[in-house]
């Protein structure tokens, strides 16, 4: 699996000690486990299988990510047709057909394994689907795609995914871009490990950095998060 430095062109060393200290892909939160129903949604099942088969191979993960994109584009096209008001033969506005819209929503938005959510402005990937897409893009070392996926989700339950995009921008040294992404959609409401972790890097005062770093520390639940937390403590000079 690629290290953070390998994912970021501006960083010169493959094992940069100033950032996470761990492979960044392991820090993505919300990747659905084998038993999660969304993995079996017919609309994305082949993309999930491609991700499972890809392992840590960059090329295969890139292809899996592209397959997710293709399948979601197909769902968005279905949504346009389901909610469209085609003109009549006389050129007059058509009548909305609620049945088609309801069938689309039932299968792709409201079901337990639905791959889509109603975002703030449009349909968007569910947090679980977006997490799988980000994992594939991360393993493929396609950081721009990771950041694009982070921007594509707007709901509060996707905050940790936006936070991962913020992390990628911070690692590039793009603090302005990181601050802008932190405001996308519903921003970064308090959630999980990554949200306070990146907020500590964005904090203006040392007191804020210390408090947010400590909050992230209380939410560690695996070794990769522990390594990243220790690396941040050294980077921000907030050693516990």
150-186 tens-digit pLDDT: 999 999 999 999 999 999 999 999 999 999 999 999 9
208-226 tens-digit pLDDT: 999 999 999 999 999 999 9
Q: Say whether pLDDT at 91 is over 80.
A: no
The pTM for the full model equals 0.88
Which DSSP string do the residues of 117-162 spell out, in sequence order?
EE-SSSEEE-HHHHHHHHHHHHHTT-HHHHHHHHHH--SGGGHHHH
Report CA 209 to chain centroid distance, whole Å. Answer: 24
119-155 tens-digit pLDDT: 999 999 999 999 999 999 999 999 999 999 999 999 9
Q: How far apart are CA 196 and CA 217, in angstroms?
A: 9
181-203 tens-digit pLDDT: 999 999 999 889 999 999 999 99
Length of the chain as a residue count = 240
């Amino acid at each position: 699996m690629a290290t953070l430095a390998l994912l970021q062109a501006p960083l010169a060393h493959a094992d940069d000690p100033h950032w996470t200290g761990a492979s960044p892909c392991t820090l993505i939160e919300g990747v659905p486990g084998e038993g999660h129903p969304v993995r079996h949604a017919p609309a994305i099942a082949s993309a999930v299988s491609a991700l499972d088969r890809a392992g840590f191979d960059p090329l295969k993960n890139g292809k899996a990510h592209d397959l997710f994109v293709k399948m979601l584009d197909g769902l968005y096209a279905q949504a346009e047709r389901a909610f469209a008001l085609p003109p009549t033969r006389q050129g007059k506005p058509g009548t909305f057909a609620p049945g088609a819209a309801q069938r689309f929503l039932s299968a792709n938005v409201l079901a337990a394994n639905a791959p889509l959510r109603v975002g703030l402005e449009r349909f968007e990937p569910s947090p679980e689907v977006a997490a799988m897409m980000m994992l594939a893009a991360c393993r493929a070392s396609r950081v721009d795609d990771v950041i694009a996926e982070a921007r594509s989700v707007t709901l509060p339950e996707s905050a940790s995914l936006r936070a991962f995009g913020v992390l990628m921008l911070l690692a590039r040294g793009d603090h302005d871009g990181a601050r802008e992404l932190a405001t996308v959609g519903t921003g970064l409401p308090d959630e999980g490990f990554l949200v306070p972790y990146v907020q500590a890097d964005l904090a203006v005062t040392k007191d804020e950095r210390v408090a947010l770093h400590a909050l992230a520390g209380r939410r560690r639940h695996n070794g990769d998060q522990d390594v990243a937390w220790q690396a941040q403590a050294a980077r921000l000079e907030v050693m516990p």
